[in-house]
Structure 1
Amino acid sequence: MSVRARWTVTAVLVLAGVAGCGTASSQPSAGSVTVKDCQGKDITFAAVPARAVTIDGWAAQVMARLGLADRIVGTGFAGPVRAEQEPFRGQLATVPVITDKIPSTESVAALAPDVVLTGFPDFGGPPGTPTEADLAAMKAPGVAACVNTKAGPMTDLSAMYDYLARVGRVFQVADRADQVIRELKAREDTVRAKAGPRTRVLALADNPVVGQPVKALGGATPVNALIHLAGGVNVFDEVPSMHADVSPEKIAALDPQVIWVVTDLSFAKATGRELVDQISANPLLATTSAVRDRRILSTSQYVVGFPTPLTIDGLEQIAAGLRG
């Protein structure tokens, strides 16, 4: 199963390390633009795409921030669309939702897109969803976010900035993309400048159950990057995967000072405030400094799951929580 499949089928989280994603693009001739895909290959657009399908709401968020929501003829996995803030949520309000899951190849092809975008690392995760070969058959190039989960712990937001730049080039609104990137980097710099001593953070996606491994989030997640930039350290930073299946005893030994609950995962037994309350009262975590000091934070995966401008909101939230 691909990395993208694990994130979508289990609805897990994401940001940062980018492998083979080109931030620079070239214009071989007037009216055409060439950008790099996640393998470093050129994708050339002879004209500005008029019809875009976003596989997921994270890609739709990026389009809205660049003023391109009116180009979207359909989106899948709409949770991130509903999490977006005004005025961008208003821009996305009229975008047709294909499905609240990852759309099938047939449903994407039926919309006759000029381009297909995803906030995931690649295409074709869950069976029946569009692969790169399917997109080639549709004559609709795919633009993915190029999040690299195999290059060690994620510690920066380069995937987000790269994705904004490439989408901006594809739609020939590079100046607008540059402005958005500058604004987001300024907010990131403000957070980093205020970071204090490193705080030990445990990131959880579900409430631990007796006799089962605790589902913590490892270093290969965007959440890890946000913790790092906010001035914390993920207690499972060195786990080279998205999930760190660990024992309660291991967590007790590491004694996290803050627990960050990432909500809205499909496999979680509860969500939102209910999940936070369950974790706060869980006896398996009762000995941690985080529970004793009542330092339990929460953010939706729709905000921090994959590289979009909304991720900076998540960064500011976790930073405020660590300082508090």
Structure 2
Amino acid sequence: MSLRTRLAGSVVVALLAVSGLAACSESEKVDDATAVAAGEGTTSYPLTVENCGTSQTFTQAPKRVVSLDQGSTEILLSLGLADRIVGTASWTDPIRENLAEANATVKRLADNAPTYEVVMGTNPDFVTASFGRHFKKEGGVATRDRLTETGVESFLSPTDCEDGRSINGGGTRTRPLTIDSLYQEITELAKIFDVPERGQKLVDDLKSRTAAATAEVKKDGRTIAFWFADTKTPYFAGGLASAQLIATTVGTKNVFSDVADDWPATTWSAVVQRNPQVLVLGDLARNRFPGDKLADKKAFLANDPVTKVMPAVQKQQYVALHGAEMNPSIRTVGGIEKLADWLANNPA
């Protein structure tokens, strides 16, 4: 896999300076002699990976990676690749505790999506994303074609891909998400970085945790709803994405399972009408929409004249999950564990 030339890097730096992006205007120095953690020596290069309708060929393991989403970052950190990551972005929650030390060495480019110039200012040779919105021509960071033109390979999580189309990049999901797509993401990234044994170990650990979490769950079919964000036009989980996967895994019924969307915007009247017995509330570290914070969600539910009459609100049948635990990522398993534990300790 080719790096951008030093001349191209100098041009980017110059453009950044002209744009007045002082804080990010200097590209990180690229030292090809800098040692990075050795791989396992089992991946054969050149390696071609077909990824959501895009073919990428790697002549070696990436050395300078920008991860555009928390989910992607946590997979890379779990694979022991902190030394390869030159920048991360789009964080909704605190880092997993077991990854905090490794993550402390990684530069955060932005809490939300970074600009194309900031990304390229790190001299990346590989860009990963959990959500295809980052690769959109309008409103995204950069298209994958644009990255390829500058010698930068890219990777989109298979959890956001169906039939070669990105769901968050403008496509529509037509089939329920399965956890196998998460395992595929881990396995493919591990192969790209020549650490397939680490990838298999991570997959096995996630499978083991899921089995342990659901072993004692009664799966009593309680009705449930997942509220991610926004008090005015609330986003509740539909029936095709990761929250639905969590619901079915622990034996509950998502009241919006008939809605063919990941996180459709709905109304409070619709929520009250469907009357879930349990409310899963997103506890987000970000502050982009009203009701991102857990405390704000609880306060709204208790005081809004429409929602306060709901039995789930009056009984405070709440389960708090981080945003990352309701999105497709290794944190999904944490969501399964937390919900299964709550159900076991709060029988119907």
Q: Tell me what 1:185 maps to.
A: 207
Please show how residues 290-305 of structure 1 align to structure 2 within 5 Å. Answer: 290-305=312-327
| Counterpart residue identity of residue 108, structure 1 | V
Residue of structure 2 in register with 1:130 after alignment: 142
Distance 1:55 1:246, change over 3 A: closer
Paired residues of 1:105 and 1:134 also in contact (CA < 8 A):
no
CA contact (8 A) 1:165 1:178 kept: yes
Query: Cα–Cα, structure 1 residues 112 and 247, in superposed 2: closer, same or farther, change >3 Å?
Result: closer
How many residues end up aligned between the 2 structures?
291
Q: Of the candidates 311, 314, 324, which is equivalent to residue 335 of structure 2? A: 314
Match of 2:343, as an amino acid? L
The within-5 A match list for 1:135-174 is: 135-146=147-158, 147-148=160-161, 149=167, 150-152=172-174, 154=176, 156-174=178-196
Q: Does structure 1 residue 31 correspond to structure 2 residue 42?
A: no
Q: Does 1:204 align with 2:227?
A: yes
Q: Is the 8 A contact 1:258 1:322 kept in 2?
A: no
Structure 2 length-normalised TM: 0.76
Root-mean-square deviation (CA, aligned residues, Å) is 2.5
Question: Where do residues 243-322 of structure 1 align in structure 2 (5 Å cutoff)?
Answer: 243-264=263-284, 266-307=288-329, 309-322=330-343
- Aligned-partner residue type, residue 73 of structure 1: V
AA partner of residue 87 (structure 1): N
Q: What letter matches 1:292 in structure 2? A: Q
Deviation of residue 171 (structure 1)? 0.1
The residue aligned with 1:68 is 81
User: Which structure would you say has the larger Rg?
Assistant: 2
Aligned partner of 1:103 in structure 2 is: 114
Deviating 4+ runs (over 6 angstroms) = none
In the aligned structure 2, how far is the partner of 1:89 from the partner of 1:279? 33
Compared with structure 1, are the counterparts of its residues 33 and 207 closer, same or farther at alpha carbon in structure 2 (3 Å cutoff)? closer
Decide whether the 8 Å contact of 1:156 with 1:229 is kept in 2. no
Which residue identity is paired with 1:68? L
For 1:139-166, what per-residue CA distance to the aligned partner results, in whole angstroms no more than 9, with x for missing partners? 1111111224534463532222111111
8 A Cα contact 1:220 1:241, kept in partner? yes
* CA spacing shift, 1:282–1:298, aligned 2, 3 Å: farther
Shifted more, 278-287 versus 41-50: the winner is 278-287
Structure 1 pair 254–78 and aligned structure 2 pair: CA distance change class (3 A): closer
Question: Could you say if the C-alpha distance between residues 114 and 249 of structure 1 is closer, same or farther in structure 2, counting changes exceeding 3 Å?
Answer: closer
Give, as a single letter, the amino acid of the residue that structure 2 aligns with 1:267.
F
Distance in 2 between residues matched to 1:70 and 1:217, nearest whole Å: 35
The one-letter code sitting in structure 2 at the alignment partner of 1:200 is T
User: Is the 1:276–1:298 Cα contact (8 Å) retained in structure 2?
Assistant: no
**Quick one: percent identity of the two aligned structures?**
21
Shift of the 225–46 alpha-carbon distance from structure 1 to 2, 3 Å rule, reads same
Where do 5+ consecutive residues of structure 1 fail to align?
A: 1-26
Aligned twin of 2:260: 240
Residue in structure 2 matched with residue 19 of structure 1 by the alignment: none
CA positional deviation for 1:138: 1.9
Structure 1 residues 155 and 220 mapped into 2: Cα distance closer, same or farther (>3 Å)? Answer: closer
Residue equivalent to 2:123: 112
Whether 2:62 is the aligned partner of 1:49: answer: yes
Q: Output one character per residue of 1:200-251: Cα deviation in whole Å (capped at 9) or x when no partner.
A: 0022234645xxx554221233222112212211100110123444444433
Deviations 1:247-298 (A, max 9, x none): 4443333221101111326223451223223224433223433123321122
